[in-house]
Structure 1
Amino acid sequence: MVTEFDALVRNHTWDLVPAPPDCNVLSNRWVFAEKTNPDGSLEREKARLVARGFEQIPGYDFGDTFSPVLKLATLRLLLGIAVSNAWPLHQLDISNAFLHGTLKEEVYMRQPVGFIDPEHPDYVCRLRKSIYGLRQAPRAWFQCLSQALRDFGFVASQTDPSLFIYRSGSALLYMLVYVDDLVITGNDSSIIQQLLGHLRSKFALRDLGRLSYFLGLEVHYTSTGLILNQRKYILELLERSGMAQAKSISTPCTPDQLVQSGSDLSPAFDNPSLYRSIVGGLHYLSFTRPDISFAVNHVSQFQHSPTEAHWAAVKRIMRYLQGTITQGLLFQRSTHSQLHGYSDASFASCPKDRKSISGFAVFHGSNLVSWSTRKQKAVARSSTECEYRALATLASEVIWLQALLTELGQAPSSSPVLWCDNLGATYLAHNPVFHTRSKHLEIEFHFVRDWVNKQQLHVRYLPATDQLANVLTKPLTRQAFHGFCSKFHLSEVPLVGA
């Protein structure tokens, strides 16, 4: 607490003033937390003075609150680029980050408990800088950091505002920002050191060295690249769900289980809060595990009123993770840097509403950088329609990634290729065929055909047996499941000491 309070005073966070009449004075509290290492050991203890931002009044003591959040597809894309170019990956942390943001509004807060000024016990804190808990604190901090990076010469990306790009002659640097956690990579180590000096002059900077643990993602380096893994997080989920001693299983879901969990005959699960907590954790885990994406999407649909059958489906995912705890997503040096993607849809597969499931996977070179499993918003009248909707979703993602690569100065030399296993959808992407059966489709989906006609996208057919996105849209046999997952470049990370 003393360390935190000293940081607040040193940063000139507030002025002690008499409380103005009719002002909104916020209360506050101390929050204590422990920060752990990837192996679960204690790194340090933290104390934070947090304002009760829920007491703020819109338009009175706060206005805009939006602050951009890093897209994990951007992180994966940047990791692949760094590995392919053999660039270093550097990690930074800024202490007391929110305290650096300057407030535009007049905000008043009570003096913190334990540190009340004995000469002015009735005074209040007129906040000059943002503080944790304020509605506008993330925005104020991001604006402050953005200005510091612009002063050095960085430019914010238009496709992902959490990405900053620096170019000077042959020097090229990229920085990813997630609140107070920063990742830097580039081709000039001397410029990186200059940047560190610039940031140290403005903030309390902690240089964490080589990227190893970021947003709960563990980074393991190999002779050919790196592996993203969430072993520590899987262990936490297994403990929370009571599955730490469960026997492992070879697949995360089965077709029979899909039918059962869609039934209304199963009794209600007696701990819906636990269900929601575990499913939320599984969703975060799927950021590095495309192999559980479909299963997690399925159980996520029942969080409002889970049944025993739904909980059984969750436990099966946990048993699968028990046996694959050391698996992670491999990034290795790629022989080419082209974008290509796979799209698939399972027609009317939801037994409840007969909506279809869309899935896609996008590769940059040989590295998987983006994937998705989602239920379609409208009921499709044919397999061609649902496959075309999935293809349109893939096209949107690929176009965004292509724009991002262009900003990074890594534009592909040829147009991306989209692979689809439905002939009708591929025909529809090239020509206005099947008019009577497709005219009801929303016009927005026909932008695929526009991009294809401009030769900026290529849509190709491939057999269903080679469709990698199958694993994202339906339960598969063990042999088919593991065959497709191997092409996602999921790799084993040896346990420490093994």
Structure 2
Amino acid sequence: MLNGTNFSDWKEQVEFHLGVLDLDIALHEFEKSLVPIDTSKCFKTADKSLAGTLMAKLTTMKFDGMRGIQEHVLEMTNLAAQLKTLGMNVDEFFLVQFILNSLPPQYGPFQINYNTMKDKWNLNQLANMLNQEEARLKQLEQHSVHLEFLSIQTINPNENFMLMGNRVRASIEAIVWDLIELPEGYKKVGCKWVYKTKHDSKGNIERFKARLVAKGFTQKGGFDYKETFSPVSKKDSLRIIMALVAHYDLELYQMDVSGSKFIFLILYVDDILLASSDLGILHETKKFLSKNFEMKDMDDITYVIGIEIFRDRSRGILGLSQKVYIERVLETFKMENCSTSVAPIRKGDKFNLMQCPQNELERKQMEGIPYASAVGSLMYAQTCTRPDISFAVDMLGRYQHNPGIDHWKAAKKVMRYLQGTKDFMLTFRRSDSLEVIGYSDSDFAGCIDSRKSTFGYLFMLVGGAISWKSAKQTIIASSTMEAEFVACFEATVHGLWLRNFISRLGIVDYVSKPLRIYCYI
């Protein structure tokens, strides 16, 4: 209050309060002048941009080895989780494929093993298998083990470019495709170049190969396609032809694709085997193929797809051996000097889920063990020439998703058995009677976990096995008799396929007679 003596103080207080009032008025006026802005469109645009960036990163990410495979899988999983929050749900199947596609060439055998499996892994199973494979690769690197599966690093870039050019030029000259516009409603399938180094039976480099393959994993069965085709002959077909070569003493030649007279042509990707009763027809066929395709004549065949072929024409014997392959497998898993085993699996050996890791300590113990890779290597041996390990490999394959130490010991027992039997061959001998004979058998409720039985069958021709299988039955048999009937049925179905295949070759007339199948009861 002004009293005549405090003018200066009074003036200062009045000016202060007026200033505060002016500021308050200005703030109120500014607040009234604010215009609401719709920011949702801005956020939607930003979300789409972020989602596109994350998806591009997820599909192009590569594992460079600078960190662990577990961290790599975790990062890709986190990217998928971020995409899900933005409304883009990445299916687990595609995420697994993205992770597999991001792996470097040294994981090639692992990818091949996965592609050959009927039951695909989920994300957790894949992560577990990758941890095992990473540990195996580190072990191999530490001990400087030379692997069979060489990749693009084996060849210099200039040679790669030359191989690609030769392959494209050969395809253009052979007119193997028609160039058309993409039909409406269809999507493109990408492709990539795959490089491989081929070796002879002694492990020496024979030649380099380049293939242009489609990225089939970008398609979904039943939606993008309904049928598949692969230019690969079944191993059964190969063994049947080898048996007939031994029986009829046929000429046998190999080419590489870059009574009456007949000729067989067996195609396995880009390897061609020719078997003929007449040298003239064989040479004419070779000329025809060389004229229309770029070919390399490999002359008499002694080694193909990891199988050595031995012939004694004077005695009418042909043998198939995988000794070199088995030695390479044993060396890979540090078993080249192991003691031998009398059998791949012994009576009374049982496997079940209780032998799988039950706690974190046991899981950590198995992370450094290359179980999946070992089973995959054994599987190729039994598929080609070793029916004697078929049952054991089938049992081991059931626990690839979560193997325990007992399963690993069993896998090593199979390798010890192969160590003692690596010189064994699958032999075919010229015979007076050309007849296919089958055998089938089954246990009863052999699988402890599911109580399902395991069946097996084997078919013989001219003294050698041409087809075999061991697998768990799809139903639970209520008796031993029912289990045996299921085994007999499976053998009969396959026997019909064998009969039709051999009959259509046109040189074995009486194979159309009823096949004999012996069922063990």
TM-score (normalizing by structure 2):
0.60
8 Å CA contact 2:440, 2:458 repeated in 1: yes
Alpha-carbon distance, 1:284 to partner:
1.0
8 Å CA contact 2:357, 2:402 repeated in 1: no
Give 1:182-197 correspondences, 5 Å limit: 182-197=272-287
Letter in 2 for 1:198: F
Distance in 1, Cα, partners of 2:369 & 2:229: 29
Please tell me whether residue 174 in structure 1 is matched to residue 264 in structure 2.
yes
8 Å CA contact 1:92, 1:208 repeated in 2: yes
8 Å CA contact 2:257, 2:295 repeated in 1: yes
Letter in 1 for 2:409: A
Alpha-carbon distance, 1:202 to partner:
0.9
- Among 219, 233, 238, the alignment partner of 2:330 is 238
**Higher-RCO chain (CA-CA 8 Å, sequence separation at least 6):** 1
Q: Give a deviation string over 1:114-172, Cα, whole Å, max 9, x none.
A: xxxxxxxxxxxxxxxxxxxxxxxxxxxxxxxxxxxxxxxxxxxxxxxxxxxxxxx9321
Letter in 1 for 2:496: I
Please tell me whether residue 85 in structure 1 is matched to residue 248 in structure 2.
yes
Q: Give a deviation string over 1:419-469, Cα, whole Å, max 9, x none.
A: 1232xxxxxxxxxxxxxxxxxxxxxxxxxxxxxxxxxxxxxxxxxxxxxxx
Letter in 2 for 1:75: L
- After TM superposition, the structure 1 stretch with the greater mean CA deviation from structure 2, 219-228 or 29-38, is 29-38
Please tell me whether residue 44 in structure 1 is matched to residue 207 in structure 2.
yes
Partner of 2:474: 377
Partner of 2:339: 247
8 Å CA contact 1:272, 1:303 repeated in 2: no
Q: Give a deviation string over 1:209-232, Cα, whole Å, max 9, x none.
A: 112112211111235311111112
Identical-residue share of aligned pairs (%): 33
Please tell me whether residue 417 in structure 1 is matched to residue 507 in structure 2.
no
Report the structure, 1 or 2, having the larger strand content. 1
Equivalent position SS for 2:287: helix
8 Å CA contact 1:33, 1:46 repeated in 2: yes
Distance 1:406 1:48, change over 3 A: closer
Aligned-residue Cα RMSD (Å) equals 3.5
Structure 2 residue runs without a partner (length 5+)? 1-159, 180-185
Distance in 2, Cα, partners of 1:295 & 1:59: 34
Distance 1:51 1:382, change over 3 A: closer
Equivalent position SS for 2:335: coil
Distance 1:33 1:407, change over 3 A: closer
Letter in 2 for 1:4: L
Q: Give a deviation string over 1:173-215, Cα, whole Å, max 9, x none.
A: 1111112111111212111111111111111111111121122
Distance in 1, Cα, partners of 2:178 & 2:248: 50
TM-score (normalizing by structure 1):
0.63
Partner of 2:230: 67
Distance in 2, Cα, partners of 1:271 & 1:257: 24
Alpha-carbon distance, 1:65 to partner:
5.2
- Among 404, 408, 424, the alignment partner of 1:307 is 404
Specify the structure having the higher radius of gyration (Cα).
2
Alpha-carbon distance, 1:44 to partner:
2.6
- After TM superposition, the structure 1 stretch with the greater mean CA deviation from structure 2, 253-262 or 296-305, is 253-262
Structure 1 residue runs without a partner (length 5+)? 17-22, 96-168, 423-498
- Among 316, 319, 328, the alignment partner of 1:227 is 319
8 Å CA contact 1:402, 1:411 repeated in 2: no
Distance 1:62 1:257, change over 3 A: closer
- Among 464, 486, 491, the alignment partner of 1:367 is 464
Equivalent position SS for 2:459: strand
Give 1:129-278 correspondences, 5 Å limit: 170-222=260-312, 223-224=314-315, 225-259=317-351, 263-264=355-356, 267-268=362-363, 270-271=366-367, 274-278=370-374
Distance 1:203 1:379, change over 3 A: same
Alpha-carbon distance, 1:240 to partner:
2.3
Distance 1:56 1:375, change over 3 A: closer
